[in-house]
Structure 1
Amino acid sequence: MQLERIALISDVHGNLTALEAVLADIEARGITRIFNLGDYVGKGPRGQAVVDRCREVCEVNILGNWDDFLPDPDREWPAGGSMLWWQQELRADQRTWLRSLPFCHDFQLSGRQIRIFHASATTVHHRVYFDHDATAYRGMFENTPATGDGPLPTVVGYGDTHDAYYESDLGRTLINVGSVGNSLNDPTPVYTVLEGGADATAPFGIQFVRVPYDAHAELAHARELGAPELDGYEAEIIHGIYRGTLYAGKTSTYHRD
């Protein structure tokens, strides 16, 4: 029986070093289909290169929260601030491309109806954490104005929280695919592999893959480029500690995840 594998990546956040390590691992496994769940930019220093690389190698690219608000032409970011630096590091065509990305993508594998989006079924700006309640869980499988009508999914994959996990209940499976460029708690980049077939009787598998990389080299690139919030970037990519804890009680333009 012929099975195919699809790599799900998310939350690269301008970390080109981590992205290249993950892409090399995907290629070494012979996987040719890559679906990207968004948040290409912000936090890391090389959003422009990340966007170009993902446009080159990803079969599916969908919208993340940073991809929506960072390039928003109606927002005026403060001069000299972090957000303006990350926004101006992108080309104008990339800002347009990011905001035009689809909200979700639906497909079938091994008889399962699968849907991927960035954060939730309602908006890229509504976050569903690991410790959610039953109502939040059920909501991830619903059709909304954002997802559109169609067959209800039995498997949902999302990113956003930088916290990979698997949960199955009531005949449905929820997967957080993790973060490539900004994984928290364990800072090692993580992505997810789906394996299945065209036939409903084909086996179905879900695998989480962590890929070590040279995070110190990535931090050195950020310093060379004069990227903002270097202390926060170091805390996240070296130690897996969310930078918001460093800025507690301080005014920051930084948006959670």
Structure 2
Amino acid sequence: MTLERIALISDVHGNLTALEAVLADIEARGITRIFNLGDYVGKGPRGREVTELCKTRCEVNILGNWDDFLPDPEREYDNEAMRWWKEQAGEENGRWLRSLPFSHDFLISGRRVRLFHASEETVHRRVRFDHDEGEFVGLFRNTDATGFDSPEPDIVGYADTHDPYYETDRGRRTVFNTGSVGNCMSDPTPVYVILDGVMDSDQEAPFGIQWVRVPYDTEAEIAYATSVEMPEVDAYAYELRTGFYRANLKHDEQPTYHRKG
């Protein structure tokens, strides 16, 4: 029995400084397989660089909500920041992002894992950590988006909310959220997940889920965004420094809990 480790990253959002720090940590641990759960672009200044790096470093790349709507060629923006992020990512990367698969299934230590960005139905529906029972159960359903060819999963890993968490029920079903590399909430330190087990095996074996926080040079990332005159740079800096959404800036609030924004 050979245990293998896989790194799961997500929600880099154009923050190349954070991504490079996380990739360095993954490499230092000897992990060679990386799966990306989406949202490469938007919010940060280097969506193009992030996308191109993930093309080469990630074995699996999955569609995120920003990857779907931001590069949409049929969509016109009257928002300066949206236009800037779309142009910075580039048309070729935009086409690649919108072509990414919705989900990815695999076996590890006798458990079927399904990864997607936000929900079992669409990248545009959010399931927060304080969901109800119906939302929990729904995450395991086969849908038009996930396909009906595979059995329903035992474990669901997703992203989107930038909130890392873990939950199980009495049926041994497990849900976890990877958190965010480039725009993590509450604790703004980049976070990713390591899965540990016997890959591609339908036999029960040891299995683990681990979250890893990786410090990085936040001020260097903010300085770069400022130097290229990225729109909404003050809001970006606020999120990276505090771990609270930029909506709080509009109300001049001092939040104690990020859902407030």
TM-score category of the 2 structures, normalised to the smaller one: over 0.9
Would you say 1:240 and 2:247 are equivalent positions?
no
Would you say 1:163 and 2:163 are equivalent positions?
yes
The Cα offsets for residues 170-214 of structure 1, whole Å up to 9 and x where unpaired, read as 210000011000001100000000000144232000000000000
Task: Measure, in 1, the Cα distance between the counterparts of 2:162 and 2:219.
Answer: 20
Instruction: List 4+ stretches of structure 1 deviating above 3 A.
Output: none
Matches within 5 A, 1:129-168: 129-149=128-148, 150-168=150-168
Task: Measure, in 2, the Cα distance between the counterparts of 1:21 and 1:89.
Answer: 22
CA pair 143-248 structure 1, distance change in 2 beyond 3 A: farther
Would you say 1:215 and 2:218 are equivalent positions?
yes
CA RMSD of aligned residues (A): 1.3
Match of 2:103 in 1: 104
Task: Measure, in 1, the Cα distance between the counterparts of 2:59 and 2:250.
Answer: 37
Q: Secondary structure at the match of 1:246?
A: helix
Q: Secondary structure at the match of 1:42?
A: coil
Q: Secondary structure at the match of 1:89?
A: helix
Match of 2:68 in 1: 68
Match of 1:194 in 2: 195
- TM-score (structure 2 length as normaliser): 0.93
Match of 1:179 in 2: 180
Mean alpha-carbon deviation: is it higher for 93-102 or for 236-245? 236-245
Task: Return the letter of the residue paired with 1:175.
Answer: F
Task: Measure, in 1, the Cα distance between the counterparts of 2:44 and 2:235.
Answer: 10
Matches within 5 A, 1:42-53: 42-53=42-53
The Cα offsets for residues 103-135 of structure 1, whole Å up to 9 and x where unpaired, read as 000000000000000000000000000100000
* Percent of aligned pairs sharing the same letter: 63
Task: Measure, in 1, the Cα distance between the counterparts of 2:251 and 2:71.
Answer: 26
How many pairs align?
249
Task: Measure, in 2, the Cα distance between the counterparts of 1:33 and 1:157.
Answer: 16
Would you say 1:12 and 2:12 are equivalent positions?
yes
1:241 Cα deviation after fit: 1.1
Asked if 1 retains the 8 angstrom alpha-carbon contact of 2:111 and 2:204, the reply is no
Match of 2:257 in 1: none
Task: Measure, in 2, the Cα distance between the counterparts of 1:51 and 1:156.
Answer: 24
Task: Measure, in 2, the Cα distance between the counterparts of 1:190 and 1:126.
Answer: 22
Q: Secondary structure at the match of 2:89?
A: coil
The Cα offsets for residues 3-34 of structure 1, whole Å up to 9 and x where unpaired, read as 00000000000000000000000000000000
Task: Return the letter of the residue paired with 1:38.
Answer: G
Match of 2:118 in 1: 119
- TM-score (structure 1 length as normaliser): 0.95
1:247 Cα deviation after fit: 3.4
Task: Measure, in 2, the Cα distance between the counterparts of 1:161 and 1:247.
Answer: 21
